[in-house]
């Protein structure tokens, strides 16, 4: 009986030690080819609000010198403090692509998302992707734009809204048309929104909104227009990104 008990204890101890050993870690495989470039597939230039995830994930692709996708390439991300990546790093799939979600930081402004991989000689190969976080006033302006302005200023129709853009004699400028709108002062934007196109000698098809929106609402619209300008107005631009 004692021999049986001793043998059983010895067996249990061996099993216990085997179970307590850390599992062998898989060895990282080298990429299928030498990375030469990393490019954006989708997800750039999204508009979100501070501290919230972007609506769509970002997708990047690593290519070799012949622009063919590279599988198994490591991809890393960085941006301003407070930006969260999920996952924070990884390796490309068989199509050379990697998908990740981004939550922007707590400051309003434009963020640069840097995605990088390692190329020949250990050199960092990087792409920077621009994203925009709206503050409270700017987001209020976006909501007002969707309600009152987008039907004419946005040439694209959606399931919820049929665009009137192409039916107008003087097609309105999109709110992100920075090349045009950056040249107009805040005072003139306030005037044309409040009193309509004729206030600045423009088309009367642009109606006045002074009896529809209050001064705070109109100021929020101007803040939104400034925020989404592309190219951005350099005199007021804020970029929160690490070098």
Contacts of 114 (CB under 8 A, 6+ apart): 77, 78, 79, 126, 127, 128, 129, 241, 242
Q: 43 and 122 share a domain?
A: yes
Q: 117 and 148 share a domain?
A: no
Residue 19 lies in a domain: no
Q: Which of 102, 118, 134 is the last residue of a domain?
A: 134
Strand order in the sheet with 74-78: 47-49, 124-134, 109-118, 74-78, 89-91
- Integer Cα distance of 40 and 37 in angstroms: 10
- Integer Cα distance of 78 and 242 in angstroms: 7
Domain containing residue 69: CATH number: 2.60.40.10
Residue 129 lies in a domain: yes
Residue 68: give the domain boundaries.
37-134
Residue 103 lies in a domain: yes
Residue 145 lies in a domain: yes
Q: 120 and 175 share a domain?
A: no
Q: 41 and 116 share a domain?
A: yes
Which of 26-40, 129-143, 165-179, 186-200 bottoms out in mean pLDDT, i.e. has the lowest? 26-40
pLDDT of residue 167: 86
Residue 30: pLDDT band by 50, 70, 90 thresholds? confident
User: Is the pLDDT at 15 greater than 50, yes or no?
Assistant: no
- DSSP for 72-120? T-EEEEE-STT-EEESSEEE--TTSEEEEEEE--SS-EEEEEEEEEE-G
Domain containing residue 206: CATH number: 1.10.760.10
Number of structural domains in the chain:
2
Residue 24: pLDDT band by 50, 70, 90 thresholds? low
> In this structure, what token pair is assigned to residue 44?
């750039």
Q: 127 and 43 share a domain?
A: yes
Burial of 88 per CB tally in 10 Å (0-12, 13-18, 19+): exposed
Residue 237 lies in a domain: no
Q: What is this structure's pTM?
A: 0.80
Residue 17 lies in a domain: no
CA atoms within 13 A on the CB side of 217: 15
Q: Which of 113, 134, 155 is the last residue of a domain?
A: 134
pLDDT digits (tens, 9 = 90+) for 206-233: 999 999 999 999 999 999 999 999 998 8
Q: 155 and 129 share a domain?
A: no
Residue 26 lies in a domain: no
Q: 88 and 41 share a domain?
A: yes
Q: Would you call 232 helix, strand, or coil by DSSP?
A: coil
Q: 191 and 203 share a domain?
A: yes
User: Is the pLDDT at 43 greater than 70, yes or no?
Assistant: yes
Contacts of 36 (CB under 8 A, 6+ apart): 63, 64, 65, 119, 120, 125
Of 198, 216, 218, 196, the residue nearest 208 (C-alpha): 196
Residue 16 lies in a domain: no
Q: Which of 69, 103, 134 is the last residue of a domain?
A: 134
Please report which helix (H) or strand (E) contains residue 129, including its range: strand 124-134
């Amino acid at each position: 009986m004692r021999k049986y008990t001793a043998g059983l204890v010895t067996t249990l101890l061996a099993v216990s030690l085997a179970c307590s050993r850390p599992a062998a870690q898989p060895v990282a495989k080298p990429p299928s080819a030498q990375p030469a470039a990393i490019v954006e597939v989708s997800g750039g230039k999204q508009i979100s609000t501070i501290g919230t995830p972007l609506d769509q994930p970002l997708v990047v692709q690593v290519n070799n010198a012949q622009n063919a996708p590279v599988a198994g390439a490591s991809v890393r991300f960085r941006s301003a403090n407070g930006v969260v990546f999920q996952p924070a790093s990884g390796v490309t799939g068989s199509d050379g692509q990697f998908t990740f979600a981004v939550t922007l930081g707590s400051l309003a402004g434009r963020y640069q998302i840097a995605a990088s991989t390692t190329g020949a000689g250990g050199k960092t190969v990087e792409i920077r992707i621009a994203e925009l976080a709206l503050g409270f006033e700017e987001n209020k302006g976006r909501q007002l734009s969707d309600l009152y302005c987008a039907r004419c200023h946005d040439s694209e129709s959606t399931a919820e809204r049929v665009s009137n853009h192409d039916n107008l004699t003087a097609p309105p400028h999109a709110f992100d048309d920075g090349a045009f709108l950056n040249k107009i002062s805040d005072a003139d934007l306030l005037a044309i929104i409040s009193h309509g196109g004729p206030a600045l000698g423009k088309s009367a098809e642009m109606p006045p909104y002074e009896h529809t929106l209050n001064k705070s609402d109109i100021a929020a619209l101007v803040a939104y227009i400034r925020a989404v300008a592309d190219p951005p107005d350099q005199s007021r631009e804020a970029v929160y990104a690490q070098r």
